[in-house]
Amino acid sequence: MKKRKKSKAAKILVPLAVLILIAAGFFVYRSRNSGGRDIPAMNFTVRSELYRDVIEITGNIKAAQQQNLQAAGDGTVEAVYVREGDRVKKGDILFRLDDSSERYNLANHDFQMNQERINGALGKLELMEQQREVLIKKIEDRRMTALFDGIIGQLTLTEGDYAKAQDNFGYLIDRSYLKATVEVVETDASRLKAGQRVTLTFPAYPDLHVEAKVLSFPAVGRITTRGTTVLDTEIRIDNPPAEILPGYSFDGEIISGEEEEIIMVEAAAIAYEGGQAYAEKTDGETVLRADVEVVPYGRDMVRILSGLNPGDTVKMQTEGGFSMGRRR
């Protein structure tokens, strides 16, 4: 019984193995002799893009100048002459503290000087004149004046308030231009030059594009807490839009070179023969060899220096998207 079962199984397996061998041979034969004509070839289109040589930056805008409004001494606020948003000129009085005590001291000193002019010595009068200048300065210190033309950005004082020395009561800003300090990493330092154009965008006004320029940068780098070396680069906005206020954040680009058109194609479209790179241009019916000059460009792409133009259709030379083409 066992011998009959083995014999029956053998009769089934032998024809099956023969069929598998015939099928394998047929596919090998087709693969070797068809030349790939039954397999549709993949084509690529040569395309172009504009390459912009830029240095990306981020930062926060500052006013050209800022004066913190502080009292030189303690005292009651006797008068406030400005409000937030007011424009002022250099030398304008912004607020004044009670100066009655200082004025009394000056008047008393003047009386004593008059007495000395009648009875005193010339040397003592010269000393008293110097003391008078000090008393006048103390009266002036009871007044806060603008150090430059600008706008009152903030002021929290009102008449009758009691001010303490060095307390901050607001600030005056100069918006004749705006500025910022941005970090440029050392790898971009060689492309950085004073006077370069800068374009800025602000999250507060996404559709507003603001022009600036590189003002200066140091000759020595700074190592950040992250361990990277940067150049603290000053940029400046002349005639800034009224919408942009000090403190606003921005993203920007320093234009370090001219725009350039880059012609490119997948690296798999390029083949090599005898050290010469070439591509096979096709219009769907005919194929024409075109010798090309290429250099690597990004991942799995090459830049075309000569031999092809945007819009050309070229045949794939390799399978699987290799970084370089087929070689012969």
Does 112 score more than 50 pLDDT? yes
Of 68-82, 110-124, 141-155, 250-264, which gets the smallest average pLDDT?
Answer: 110-124
Model confidence at 41, in pLDDT bands (50, 70, 90)?
low
Rounded CA-CA distance 238/211 in Å is 8
Any domain includes 274: yes
Q: Are 220 and 202 a contacting pair, CB within 8 Å?
A: no
Does 322 score more than 50 pLDDT? no
Does 229 score more than 50 pLDDT? yes
Rounded CA-CA distance 211/195 in Å is 12
Residues 234 and 285 grouped into a single domain: no
Any domain includes 15: no
Residues 243 and 267 grouped into a single domain: no
Position with higher pLDDT, 249 vs 167 = 249
pLDDT attached to residue 11:
52
Any domain includes 236: yes
Angle between helices 122-140 and 100-119 (to 10 degrees): 170
Any domain includes 79: no
Model confidence at 157, in pLDDT bands (50, 70, 90)?
very high
pLDDT attached to residue 14:
53
pLDDT attached to residue 39:
44
Model confidence at 118, in pLDDT bands (50, 70, 90)?
confident
Residues 203 and 59 grouped into a single domain: yes
User: Which one-letter amino acid corresponds to residue 99?
Assistant: D
Any domain includes 91: no
Any domain includes 5: no
Q: Which of 255, 284, 304 is at the close of a domain? A: 255
Residues 106 and 119 grouped into a single domain: yes
Residues 188 and 232 grouped into a single domain: yes
Can you tell me the mean pLDDT for 13-39? Answer: 51
Question: What percent of the chain is modeled with pLDDT above 70?
Answer: 84
Q: How many domains does the chain have?
A: 3
Rounded CA-CA distance 119/97 in Å is 37
The conformational region for residue 181 under phi > 0 = left, psi -120 to 50 = alpha, else beta, is beta
Does 3 score more than 70 pLDDT? no
pLDDT tens readout for residues 293-306: 999 998 899 999 99
Residue 249: partners with Cβ closer than 8 Å, 6 or more residues away? 58, 59, 60, 61, 202, 203
The CATH number given to whatever domain includes residue 271 is 2.40.420.20
pLDDT tens readout for residues 203-216: 999 999 999 999 99
Q: Are 144 and 69 a contacting pair, CB within 8 Å?
A: yes
Residues 223 and 195 grouped into a single domain: yes
Residues 271 and 231 grouped into a single domain: no
Closest CA to 313 of 272, 276, 291, 284: 284
Residues 130 and 278 grouped into a single domain: no
Helix (H) or strand (E) holding 18: helix 2-33
Rounded CA-CA distance 223/241 in Å is 34
> What number of other Cβ atoms are within 10 A of residue 292's Cβ?
22
pLDDT attached to residue 318:
59
Q: Which of 228, 255, 282 is at the close of a domain? A: 255
Any domain includes 165: no
Residues 282 and 135 grouped into a single domain: no
Residues 129 and 274 grouped into a single domain: no
> What number of other Cβ atoms are within 10 A of residue 39's Cβ?
10
pLDDT attached to residue 123:
76
Q: Which of 255, 270, 298 is at the close of a domain? A: 255
How far is CA 296 from its chain centroid?
A: 27
Does 82 score more than 60 pLDDT? yes
Residue 262: partners with Cβ closer than 8 Å, 6 or more residues away? 48, 49, 50, 51, 297, 303
Any domain includes 9: no
Residues 206 and 224 grouped into a single domain: yes
Residues 107 and 238 grouped into a single domain: no
Rounded CA-CA distance 295/322 in Å is 15
The mean of the pLDDT values for the chain is 86
pLDDT tens readout for residues 49-68: 988 889 999 999 999 999 99
Does 1 score more than 70 pLDDT? no
The CATH number given to whatever domain includes residue 248 is 2.40.30.170
pLDDT tens readout for residues 166-200: 889 999 999 999 999 999 999 999 999 999 999 99
Domain containing 228: what range? 55-63+175-255
Residue 26: partners with Cβ closer than 8 Å, 6 or more residues away? none
